[in-house]
Amino acid sequence: MHQFQGRHIIDTADLTTEEVMFLIETADRIEAMGPAARDLCKGKILATLFWEPSTRTRLSFEAAMYRLGGNVIGFSEAMSSSVSKGETLADTIQTVALYSDIIAMRHPGEGSALAASMSSRVPIINGGDGAHLHPTQTLGDCYTLIMEKGRLKGLKVGFLGDLLFGRTVHTLVRLLARFGVELHFFAPEGLNIPDYVRDSLVKAGATFTEQTELDARLPELDVLYVTRIQKERFFSEEEYLRKKNSYSITRETLEKAKDDILILHPLPRNEEIAMEVDPTPNAGYFRQAEYGLKMRMALISLCLGVLS
């Protein structure tokens, strides 16, 4: 029996591997319910508090709640909230918790979701805290891997792009390591995984390699997870332009890989995956976004206690 009702989802490190599998089963269960899922959250309110611009994650949370029959309130940038008037995070959360049953939040402060959970009487779901964690993306990605590859243990997963600022990677690799996934990092110089992530992988006894070039290892990969070089994470435009085109996946790249390599991307993408890849069966990134939506439906339902 897994207890999710009233629980905050801050970091996947707080979840056991059994709980992660239970979340995946629940996402599947909701899918199988079909139209019956539309009444699960009737009368419930989700607050989406986004201090940072985000289209995809916020819309995914909101769509998840609407598909469960609930309602949504919230803001999508700091300027439209009381924060612009100097309100503390604790005050915002305590107040919004009075208006809602569950809160999904994104905030540029690293550790902000944990801080918010300390002031909230309703469940907080971390929708990204700076370059730190993004657990709902991670859980959706795990769901994607299970559905597309049928297993996690023994998979060889490559990560390409900005691995320093890409929060999706930081959370995902630590969870995949717990499931026995082999990890291979391909990052331009200066955009490697941060020390704290590397340290936790070493401590967990994970199998991983780090390199700048993709070519040598590409033929052995089962999955390639590509990330955007994020403009907003750079201190100067010049540095951004210098690094953004370092890596790009094309049909030519796929020819050097396994026939069934799965290409994933947390989206939005820029030029790191050419659009010519989209029609190939290897392009899993839009299906990945759909699995993410189902996972958010599972999280909302379980944390509200409408499913158990």
Partner 1 sequence: MRIERIHNGIVLDHIKAGVGIKILGLFPTDMLKSKIDYASYIESPRLGMKDIIKIENLDVDPKTLTKLALISPSITISIIRNGQVKEKIKPELPPVVEGVITCNNPKCITLKEKYLTSKFKVWLEDSKVRQQCLYCEHIAKSS
Contact footprint for partner 1 (CB under 8 A): 88-90, 107-112, 114-115, 129-132, 195-196, 199
Minimum distance between the CB of residue 212 and partner 1, rounded to whole angstroms? 24
Contact 11, 171 (CB under 8 A): yes
Q: Which of 102, 128, 76 is nearest to 303 (CA)?
A: 102
Closer residue to partner 1, CB minimum distance, 115 or 139? 115
Distance between CA atoms of 244 and 165, rounded to whole angstroms?
13
Q: Which of 284, 3, 292 is nearest to 149 (CA)?
A: 284
Contact 276, 250 (CB under 8 A): yes
Minimum distance between the CB of residue 229 and partner 1, rounded to whole angstroms? 18
Concatenate the DSSP letters of all residues of 14-51 into one string.
Answer: GS-HHHHHHHHHHHHHHHHHGGGGGGTTTT-EEEEEES
Contact 102, 26 (CB under 8 A): no
Amino acid at 119: S
Closer residue to partner 1, CB minimum distance, 5 or 95? 95
Minimum distance between the CB of residue 103 and partner 1, rounded to whole angstroms? 16
Minimum distance between the CB of residue 130 and partner 1, rounded to whole angstroms? 5
Amino acid at 159: F
Closer residue to partner 1, CB minimum distance, 111 or 180? 111
Minimum distance between the CB of residue 193 and partner 1, rounded to whole angstroms? 13
Closer residue to partner 1, CB minimum distance, 126 or 253? 126
Minimum distance between the CB of residue 93 and partner 1, rounded to whole angstroms? 11
Closer residue to partner 1, CB minimum distance, 108 or 180? 108
Minimum distance between the CB of residue 263 and partner 1, rounded to whole angstroms? 29
Distance between CA atoms of 24 and 14, rounded to whole angstroms?
16
Closer residue to partner 1, CB minimum distance, 8 or 296? 8
Closer residue to partner 1, CB minimum distance, 108 or 305? 108
- Classified as helix, coil or strand, 128 is strand
Those residues whose C-beta lies under 8 Å from the C-beta of residue 135, and which sit 6 or more positions away, are 9, 10, 11, 12, 125, 126, 171
